[in-house]
Structure 1
C-alpha cells in the first residue's frame, strides 16, 4: 500500500517517463504497442518540424506522455516540453496527425517561443522564504528551477512544494511558484484536489448493491480483481498510515447505517466500481490511468472531517465521516468526482489554479454526474446536483450544474474576473455549459442563459435544446483527452469542445452548433 507522499498531476523532477499510454478512440480497438510507439516517434519529429504551430525552438526537448489513436487511425500524441533541461509549466502540446501519419495541427497554450536566461537572480533560499511567508507548510525536497509559461511571457521561476494541512484537516501538497528574478509569488495550487465542504452490501445511500470481493482465508476482503484490484481500507479515524483492510465472514457487508463501519465502505467500493465501468464502457478507458490498474478508497479518515479528496500520491480517494450536519462523504457522485480528478491528471493535467483549475473541478463534476446517470440507482435518482445526498437537513447540495450561482458563490457566466475565484466556484461556468448542452433550458428548471455584459449570474431569456447526456459526455471526454492542455482556459475549452464535436459528429453538424450555442449562452465566445 502506498502512503500519501507524491505529487498530483506532474512529471517527475528527475525524469519524464517515456512510456506510451495507448487509448482507443471512440468505437475503436486499442492499437498495438508498435503502432503507438511509431505514432510517438512521428510526433517527436513533427513537433520540431512545425515550429510555427508547436513553438519549438532552440534548447527545447520533448517526451511523450501518452498517445490516443482514433478508430479511423488519426493520432493524438501528448508531449511534455523542457527548455535547456528545465520543466516548462504550461508548455505541453498535443500533436494531431492524419491516419497516414501526416501532421495536421497542434493544441497548446504556450503563447510564444521560449527565449530566456536560465540563471536565477534570486536563490532557492529566497524562493523558500517567500513561499513560507505566504503559505504554511514544510518544504518537501528542494525548490525546483522551472520555466513558468502560464502567463503572457514565460519567466524563470522556482517551484516550491510545501506539505501541510488545511483548516478542515485535508492534507495539502501546495506548489508555490516564485519568480526567480523578483522573488514574487506568481501563483500557487494544491495537488490534493477536494470535493468542497460538505458479494453484496447494504450501503448508506444506495440500498443493497452488488460487490465483487476477494477471498482471504476463510473470509472476504473488499478488493475487486476484475477492476484492476480496486480496494477499500478503513483509516480508523486517523489522518496517517495505510489503513486496514476490511474483512467479512459471509460476504454481506454493512447494515445500511453508520453503526456498522463497513456500511460506508460499501458505498465507496460500489462507487469506484461504477466509475470504472462508466469510463470503460462509455469511453473505452481501462481505469483511471488507462493501464488497467485500480485505485484505492480510504474511508473513516480523521474525526469530524467533512470532506473527500483525490491524491495521485497514493493513487487513492479518501473520505471523511462528516460532522453534525453532513453524512460521510461517500455518495456516488462524490466518489466518481474524486476518481475523475485522476483521469484529468493523466490526460490534460489541468493546473489547479485560475480558469484551468475551474475546468479541472468542472470535469470531475461532469463525470461524477454522468456516473450517477450511468449507475441509475433507484435510491439515488440521477440529477445535475453534486452531493445532494450528503446533507442531513435533506435540502443542501454541494453544487448545482443547473444554476451554479444558487450557492451564492459559483458563477453561472464567464466574466473578466472569473480567474480570481476559488476553482470550486469558477467551475460553475463549465458546469452550466454542460447542463445547457446536455439538457438545454428545460421546462421546470431554473437554468437560464447569460446576457451580454460583465456579470457572473445568468439573467438572459434565451432558449436552447439539449443534445442529451450521451453526446455531451463524449464531446467533453474527447476534448479533455485530445485537445485540452495544462493551461487551457475557457476560451480554449470552447475551441477544444468544438473540435471534439466536429470529430465525433461532423463539421457543421447539429452537435457542433449546439456546443457553440451553449458556450455563447454562458458568455464564452
Structure 2
C-alpha cells in the first residue's frame, strides 16, 4: 500500500501476520520546539548505575499474590511486632520485593473494625531487621466511637461541599461510613462520604468528603477523578497491538494483558464499542477518522505499560498483571482527559468542536500514572500531598516521553506542550521554571498546601528537572531551558533515568498517603541511598536539588565528621573509639589527628582511638579530620577516665519469657555508689518496645531503666543515670532484662556501670 499520510502505524505481531497501517494526528509544534534535534548533553552530569540489589524484583502476578497472601496471614503478628494496639488490624495493600530479598509491605489499618484514613504504613524487612514508615505517628486511642453527627447530616455536609466546587447532579455514591481520621492532628472519629456528579467542565466527579463525627467540621474534600486538558496531537510512526477475531481486527493488545480501547461515541458512561477494523489498517492521521484517536489512545496505554515494565519490572498499573482499559470520544466538545480508579480506566475527550482529541502521549502517561500512585503511596489529593500526587504524574509523563523517544514527540520537560489549550502554542506546565505558566510555584513555602494541586505541584516538578538536568541554561532535544535555584547555587543533574528511578522507589517504598514536601525529601534521600549509596555524588545531588526549591539544606561539601559524644572509660581497661567521617571529594583520602587524649590512648591512621588509660581524670579532646584536598573538620568532647565496670558476654533474651541477668562484681572499693550512677546498655533486639530493663543493686534494690518504651524501634543503645547512693559499691550488680511479648528476640551485647 502507498503511504499517503504523515504517520505509519505498524501492528505488533500477534497472529503471525505482519500488517501495516496509517494512523496519527497532525499538530503544530509549540514555539521553541524542534522535531527531532540531537540531544545536547549540556554541562556534565553525574553518571552512576543503581545498585542491583535495590532494584525491584520483577514479580509475576502469581508471585505477588502469594507474597500478599503470606503477609496477610502474618498480619496479626506484624501488628503486634510494630507496636499497634489491640484494636488495630492490618490489611495488606501491596508487597514490593527487592532483588536482594528485602520486602516492603504496604498496609492499610483498621481500628475497632473502622477504616483508618491516613493510617497507612510500610513495613521494611531486611535480613531480620524491621523498620516502619508511617503516614501518621499518632497513637490510636479513641474512647468514644459513637458519632454525635448523624449519618444523614454528614451526607448533607458532603453535598454542600460538592456544591461549593460546582459539581452538577451531585448525589452520594453510598451512605456515609464511619472512619478514624488521622490525616492531621489528633485522630478523631469521622464520616467519609463520596459524592458523585459532574464537574463544571464535564468531567465526572467523585468528591471524597471527610467530616468530624463529633463537631461536623469538614476535615477533607478531595477529588478522586484526576484530570488534564488539551486540543490535539499525533504520535507519529508507531506500532500498536491488535488482535484478530474472525474476519475483523480489534484494538485489544495481547502483549499487555489484552488492554482494550473503546469508542464512547460521544457518550459519558459505560464502555461504548470496541474499536474494530476489517484490514488492521487504523486511522488516517486526521481527527475526522475516529480510529485516529483510537490509535493514539492505544499507543499511549502501551507506552505507559512498557515504561513501568521496562524500567521497574512493574506488571501493569497495579502491578498485578491486570490491564486498564481506555475510552476515546467522551462527551461533546469535552476539552479534558481523566483517570478513574473506580473503573480502572482512562478516558479522553475530543476537545473543542469534537475535532481536537486529547490523546497526547504525555496526557496518557500523566493520567495513568495517577493509577500507579493510587496503587502505591495513595497520596491524598489535597494539600502538599496532592501537589506531590500531581507532580508524580508529570514526572512519569516526562519519563515516558524520553523512554519512547518518538521523532514526532521527543522527550521534553513540558506538560501538554502539544495540547495548546491557551491557543497560543504554550504548554500547560513548565518543569524547569513552573511559574512561567502564571500560577504554579517554583519553590516550596509554608502556604503551598493551600493552593490548587496543579500549581502546588510546581516545586516538585522543578526539583525533578533540576535533579535530571541541573540548573542554568542548556538545550535538550532542541528545546532551550534555563532553570534557576532558590538558593542561587548550582545543581548538577544525574539524568532523567536515574532521577525517575529515585522517585519511583521513593513513591513505592517510602512515601505514604500523607507525605508532604519535607517527607518527600526524606523518601528520595532514602531511595538514593538504597540505589546509589549514602553520600554518593548522586545522593548529594538529590539534597542539592531539594535545597534548590527551598526544601532542606545542602549537604556540606568536603569533610563531614559525625559529632563525638562525651566519653567515660574505665581506668586500666582497654578502649576503642572509631571516628565516623567521610568526604564528598571523590577519591580523596582522610588523615586523623587528636589532641588532649588521656594518657595511654592514641589515634590510628584510620581514625580508631584505642589503648588502656592508666590515670583517673577528665580531659578535653579535639579530633581533626583532613582529606587529601585540604578540606578539614573538627570536633571537641570530654573524656573521663573513671572506675567503670562492664560485662560484654552475650546473654540471649528469650521471646516472651523469663528475665535474664548479666552481672558485674565490684571489690576493693569503699563507701556507697554515686547519686549520679551511670548505666550504659547495649541490647540488640528487633522490637525494643517488648523489653523491661532494670539495674539490680547488691542489696537487691531495683532501679527501673526501661519499661516497654520506644515502640517498634530496634535495639537499646542508651545511657541511664540513677541515684544509687544507698547501695554499697562492693558486691554483685546486675542488668536484668525481660521480653514481655511474642515474635521478636535479641540479646544483651554489653553494658557498663560507672557507680
TM over 0.5: yes
- The residue that corresponds to 1:299 in the other structure is 328
- Structure 1 length normalisation: TM-score? 0.88
- Among 505, 511, 534, the alignment partner of 1:478 is 505
- Among 449, 456, 471, the alignment partner of 2:485 is 449
**Native 8 Å contact 1:204 1:263 kept in 2:** no
- The residue that corresponds to 1:518 in the other structure is 545
- Among 108, 113, 132, the alignment partner of 1:80 is 108
Query: Is it true that 1:421 corresponds to 2:451 in the alignment?
Result: yes
- The offset of 1:504, in angstroms, is 0.6
- The residue that corresponds to 1:377 in the other structure is 406
Q: Give ranges in structure 2 of 5+ residues lacking alignment.
A: 1-52, 164-169, 475-480, 553-755
Query: Is it true that 1:186 corresponds to 2:215 in the alignment?
Result: no
Q: Identify the range of structure 1 (32-41 vs 412-421) with the bigger mean alpha-carbon deviation.
A: 32-41
- What SS does the corresponding residue of 2:482 show, helix, strand or coil? coil
- Among 105, 112, 125, the alignment partner of 1:97 is 125
- Summarize the Cα distance change of 1:39–1:383 in structure 2 as closer, same or farther, 3 Å threshold: same
Q: Give ranges in structure 1 of 5+ residues lacking alignment.
A: 1-23, 452-460
Query: Is it true that 1:263 corresponds to 2:292 in the alignment?
Result: yes
Correspondence list, 1:423-442, <5 A: 423-442=453-472
Using the alignment, how far apart are the partners of 1:191 and 1:343 within structure 2?
Answer: 14
Question: Rg bigger for which structure?
Answer: 2
Correspondence list, 1:10-49, <5 A: 26=55, 28-30=57-59, 32=63, 37-38=69-70, 44-49=76-81
- What SS does the corresponding residue of 1:366 show, helix, strand or coil? helix
Query: Is it true that 1:210 corresponds to 2:236 in the alignment?
Result: no
**Native 8 Å contact 1:195 1:307 kept in 2:** yes
For 1:185-221, what per-residue CA distance to the aligned partner results, in whole angstroms no more than 9, with x for missing partners? Answer: 11111111112567xxxx9512232111011221111
For 1:220-239, what per-residue CA distance to the aligned partner results, in whole angstroms no more than 9, with x for missing partners? Answer: 11010110111111111111
- The residue that corresponds to 1:252 in the other structure is 281
Using the alignment, how far apart are the partners of 2:312 and 2:66 within structure 1?
Answer: 23
Using the alignment, how far apart are the partners of 2:382 and 2:212 within structure 1?
Answer: 17
- The offset of 1:101, in angstroms, is 3.5
Using the alignment, how far apart are the partners of 2:67 and 2:209 within structure 1?
Answer: 39
Using the alignment, how far apart are the partners of 2:354 and 2:273 within structure 1?
Answer: 27
Using the alignment, how far apart are the partners of 1:63 and 1:419 within structure 2?
Answer: 29
- The offset of 1:42, in angstroms, is 5.4
**Native 8 Å contact 1:220 1:248 kept in 2:** yes
Higher strand residue share = 2
- The offset of 1:86, in angstroms, is 0.7
**Native 8 Å contact 2:138 2:182 kept in 1:** no
- The offset of 1:362, in angstroms, is 0.7
- The offset of 1:44, in angstroms, is 4.9
- Summarize the Cα distance change of 1:161–1:359 in structure 2 as closer, same or farther, 3 Å threshold: same
- Structure 2 length normalisation: TM-score? 0.62
- Summarize the Cα distance change of 1:307–1:69 in structure 2 as closer, same or farther, 3 Å threshold: same
Query: Is it true that 1:408 corresponds to 2:438 in the alignment?
Result: yes
Using the alignment, how far apart are the partners of 1:315 and 1:285 within structure 2?
Answer: 16
Using the alignment, how far apart are the partners of 1:328 and 1:85 within structure 2?
Answer: 46
Using the alignment, how far apart are the partners of 2:395 and 2:401 within structure 1?
Answer: 10
Using the alignment, how far apart are the partners of 2:68 and 2:274 within structure 1?
Answer: 38
Higher helix residue share = 1
- The offset of 1:124, in angstroms, is 0.8
For 1:440-472, what per-residue CA distance to the aligned partner results, in whole angstroms no more than 9, with x for missing partners? Answer: 114242311114xxxxxxxxx321110001111
- The offset of 1:293, in angstroms, is 1.4
- The offset of 1:65, in angstroms, is 1.1
- Among 229, 248, 252, the alignment partner of 1:223 is 252
- Among 391, 396, 404, the alignment partner of 1:367 is 396
How many residues end up aligned between the 2 structures? 483
- The offset of 1:184, in angstroms, is 1.7
Using the alignment, how far apart are the partners of 2:76 and 2:129 within structure 1?
Answer: 13
- The offset of 1:29, in angstroms, is 4.5
Using the alignment, how far apart are the partners of 1:155 and 1:207 within structure 2?
Answer: 53
- What SS does the corresponding residue of 1:90 show, helix, strand or coil? strand
Using the alignment, how far apart are the partners of 1:227 and 1:96 within structure 2?
Answer: 30
- The offset of 1:284, in angstroms, is 0.6
**Native 8 Å contact 2:328 2:348 kept in 1:** yes
